[in-house]
Amino acid sequence: MHTRSTPVLIVGAGLGGLSTALFLGLHGVPALVVERHPGTSLEPKARGQMPATMEALRAAGLEQAFLDAAPPGRPEMTIVIAESVTGRVFHSITETMPDFARYSPAPTGMVSQERAEPLLAARAAELGADIRFSTRLESFADGSDGVTAVLRDLATGETYEVEAAHLVGADGHRGGIREAAGIGFHGRGAIGENTSLLFEADLEVSLDGAAVQMHYLQNPALPGGSGAFVSTDTPGRFVAAVGATGDDEHAREVVRLITGLPELEVKLLGATTWSTACRVADRFSSGRVHLVGDAAHVMPPTGGQGGNTALMDGHHLAWKLAAVVRGQAGPGLLDSHDAERRPFAEFLVEQQYANMVHRMSPDLADDTVAERIDPARLLFGYRCPAGAFVPEMTAPSDDALFEDPATPSGRPGTRAPHVPLGDGSTRDLYGRGFVLLTDDPGWRSGAERAAESLGVPVTVPALDGEWAAAHGVTPSGAVLVRPDGLIAWRGRAQGDPAEVERALRVVLDR
C-alpha cells in the first residue's frame, strides 16, 4: 500500500466539500477531494444562492458563471400551497425575492446543485485541488501529528494511504466521519422518510416570468399526507418529493396525484430516498477533523438555506485551515469553526422546520415551533457569540444572536456591512486576505508593521465612501475585517497603532 500526503483531505464532493476545496485553493492550499460517487450530482437538489453566497463566489471568480448557469426568468421562485399542482390552492406565498441591495452588492443566484457542483469542481481544480471520484474513505485515524486515511479506488479496487494535516468531513448526513470522530448530534431528529422522483411529462407550468416554480402540497391521499413539486432547469422535467413510494407504477400514480392529472403520461428518470430531519452535530470540530454541510447539520429543505449554508461553511472554514497549514496561525484558530458556525446552524435548522410546518405540515404546529424571523435579519444580521475576533464589552441586554442589518452595529463577530464605494462596495474588498478599513495614517502604519511582524498580509485600501459610521467608528478609527468578511476588531477612534498587531495575534492564535 503506497502513501501520499496532502495538506487537507476532503471527503465528499457536494456543495460543502467542493466549496472548502475551492476556497482553500483561493488561499493557496491545494486539497485532495474524494467522492464515492462517479461524478457530481445528476439531480437538481438544492437550488439558489443568497447574495452573501454570491459575494463569496465573486471573490473566487465564479459569479458570472453562476449567473450564466441559472434558468431563464426573474431570479425568484414562485411558491404555492395547494392540494395539487392543478388543483385547489389554499394560499400563495409567491412573492418577489426581497430586495437585498441595501445589504449586499451581489445579486441572488438561482443555480441548482446539479449545475453548481461542476462549476465549483472545475474552479477548485484550476486552483490546485485534486478531485477523485469513485473513491471511498475506508477508515481514518486522527493523531496528534495529522490524520492517516485509507482510501479505495472503486474502479480498480486498489487501496492506498493518505496522510493529511486535516480532514474535512463533507460526506453528508449518511456519511460516517462524524460518528467515527466521536461526535454525537442533537435536535428533533428524523421527521420522516421521503422519496424524490425525477420525471418527464408533457406538463405546462406557468412560471409567470420567474425562474422556478415550487408547489407545497397538502393532500391526505399522498404518501405522508404532503409533498412538493418543483420545476427544473430542463423544460418538461420536474421533481416530486413525497413520503415513501412503492414500485415504479405506484410512483407514477403518486406523480399523477401530485399534478392532479390522472391521465398524465409519466416517464420516471430516477428516484432517491432521503430523510427529513432536524439534526446538528454536537461539535463541528474534533481534533483535526472538521465537519461541513450535511455532515454538520441536517434541516428540512423548506426555505432553501441548506445548500447556501453548506457552501458558506466551506467559505468560513477554508481561510482558517489555510492559515494554520501555512503556519500563519496557531491551531486554536480552528476552534472557532464550531464556536461560530454551530449556533447559526442550530437556529437555522429550527427556522427551516418552522417553514416546513407552515407550508406543508400544519398538523405539527405546537409551542416548540420557532417564530420565523425576517429573511434580511437571518441572512445578514448574525452575531457570532464567540470565535476568532476581539470581543467587545456589551450590555447583557444586547446579547441577541441576530441584529437588524439595516442598522448594523459594526461590532466584532458580525458581518462587515455593505457600504457603497464609487462603483463598488466595501464587500468587494474581502475574500482573499485581511483588510483594514481606515483613513488614518497611524492605523495604516500599524497594519504595515503587523503584516511584517506576523507574515500575514493586511490590505489597507483607499476609501471614498461614508464607511465609518456604518462600522460604528469615527472617521479616525479603524476596522479589521477577516478574509471571510466578518469584523475581527475595531478601534473606534485614533489609538495605538500596535493594537492592529495585538488584534491579529488574538484572531490567529499567535
Residues with a catalytic annotation lie at 216
**104 Cβ neighbours under 8 A, 6+ residues apart:** 51, 52, 54, 55, 380, 418, 425, 427
* Alpha helices by DSSP H, 27-102: 51-59, 63-69
How far is 320 from 336, CA to CA, in rounded Å? 9
Provide the grid cell at 162. 493518505
How far is 301 from 352, CA to CA, in rounded Å? 7
The phi, psi pair for 18, rounded to 5°, reads -70, -35
Residue 179 C-beta-side C-alpha neighbours within 13 Å:
7
How far is 206 from 201, CA to CA, in rounded Å? 15
How far is 243 from 195, CA to CA, in rounded Å? 6
Residue holding cell 438561482?
110
Residue 169 C-beta-side C-alpha neighbours within 13 Å:
30
Reduced to 3 states (helix: H, G, I; strand: E, B; else coil), residue 253 is helix
Residue holding cell 477523485?
132
Reduced to 3 states (helix: H, G, I; strand: E, B; else coil), residue 74 is strand
DSSP secondary structure code for residue 432 in this structure: S
How far is 269 from 403, CA to CA, in rounded Å? 45
How far is 30 from 125, CA to CA, in rounded Å? 9
Reduced to 3 states (helix: H, G, I; strand: E, B; else coil), residue 211 is strand
Closest by CA to 86, choosing from 252, 236, 239, 229, is: 229
What is the identity of the amino acid at 182? G
User: How distant, in Å, are the alpha carbons of 106, 391, 487 from that of 18?
Assistant: 21, 31, 25
The phi, psi pair for 50, rounded to 5°, reads -70, 160
Other C-beta atoms closer than 10 Å to the C-beta of 438 total 26
Q: How far apart are the first and last CA of the chain?
A: 38
Burial class (CB in 10 A: 0-12, 13-18, 19+), 281: buried
What is the identity of the amino acid at 409? S
Q: In the chain, what are the helix, strand and coil shares in percent, each to the nearest 5? A: 30, 30, 40
How far is 284 from 63, CA to CA, in rounded Å? 28
